[in-house]
Structure 1
Amino acid sequence: MTPHLYWTILTLTCLYAGIAGGSDERSVAIVCLVASVVTAFVLSPWGHRYSQLEAGEMVVDLAVFASFVLVALRSDRFWPLWIAGLQLTSSLAHLMKGMNLDLVPQAYAAATKFWSYPILLIVIIGTWRRQQRVRREHRTHTA
């Protein structure tokens, strides 16, 4: 997918989570946004990108994983566990590259980025479900 599409989906997800989400949704959206911006600055130059271990991106991915685990541990919802697991999968791509430096750069890049889209989808679903839950609770209390 194109970078423009990713940034559009990320922006819309963050806006939606910021407006309609609870603390879990907002926290995860902020982590996704900050990590995406930081990653853009720590990647190797285009000609060498993903041909070697992307140490800066690895640090960002591990910090994101730790953040998602913290959200999952304090949350009373199940969806944060899914995003922590998906982020772990992305983080393991760096281990794969570290173990096999001959790993094709396109495969390494895809392995680190693929799960970003399902993570954003889960944030959207989590936010939508929170909205539904809040509406149900509001109807119950006003009825």
Structure 2
Amino acid sequence: MLKAAIFYMALAMVVGFAFARGGRDERLAAIAMLMAAAATPLLVQQQFAGPEAGVILVDIALFLALSAIAMQSTRFWPLWAAGFQLGAVVVHFASSRLPELIPAAYAETLVIWSYPVLAALLLGAVLEGARGHRQ
């Protein structure tokens, strides 16, 4: 419960900063991350005792959204964010190949990949804010 609260506080701060200081790319990524964070808890069915189909779809959708942002962006951070999100997608496929994977390890590994994605967005917003204008 505390770990979830810490993640949601970090998400709120980064998203708020992205909207306040970021440009178009940062705002789009922030919206995508908010949507993914809101959808994920609603789609958990097995408490990560096996592959979570709904969560897999959310993570793939976020990866595709971040990849689309990266493909049209002139910035480097969306590529890093998409790459980190790909790490989360790979965790899902590993869980399907390792049925003996402990549910807590599966869930925790997904959370761990969320922080570098947030860090990439934060860096993008900081750099965009330092440029002194928004797209």
Opposite residue 15 of structure 1, the aligned amino acid is: G
Q: Which runs of 4+ in 1 moved over 2 A?
A: none
Instruction: For 2:98 and 2:129, locate their aligned partners in 1 and report how far apart those are by CA, in whole Å.
Output: 45
Q: Does residue 43 of the first structure (1) align with residue 44 of the second (2)?
A: yes
Q: Does residue 67 of the first structure (1) align with residue 65 of the second (2)?
A: yes
* Map 1:28-107 → 2, pairs under 5 A: 28-44=29-45, 48-107=46-105
| Partner SS, residue 2 of structure 1 | helix
Instruction: For 1:73 and 1:104, locate their aligned partners in 2 and report how far apart those are by CA, in whole Å.
Output: 36
Match of 1:119 in 2: 117
Q: Which has the larger radius of gyration?
A: 1
Listed one character per residue, the Cα deviations across residues 8-61 of structure 1 (whole Å, up to 9, x for unaligned) are 1111111111111101100111111110000010012xxx41111111100000
Opposite residue 36 of structure 2, the aligned amino acid is: A
Instruction: For 2:20 and 2:131, locate their aligned partners in 1 and report how far apart those are by CA, in whole Å.
Output: 15
Give 1:134 deviation, angstroms. Answer: 2.3
Instruction: For 1:128 and 1:58, locate their aligned partners in 2 and report how far apart those are by CA, in whole Å.
Output: 30
Match of 1:2 in 2: 3
User: Structure 1 vs Structure 2: percent identity of aligned residues?
Assistant: 33
| Number of positions where the alignment pairs a residue of Structure 1 with one of Structure 2 | 132
RMSD over aligned CA atoms reads: 1.2
Using the size of structure 1 for normalisation, the TM-score is: 0.88
Match of 1:140 in 2: none
**Could you tell which deviates more after superposition, 65-74 or 10-19?**
10-19
Listed one character per residue, the Cα deviations across residues 104-126 of structure 1 (whole Å, up to 9, x for unaligned) are 11221122121111211221111
Structure with bigger RCO (C-alpha 8 Å, 6+ apart):
2
Match of 2:28 in 1: 27
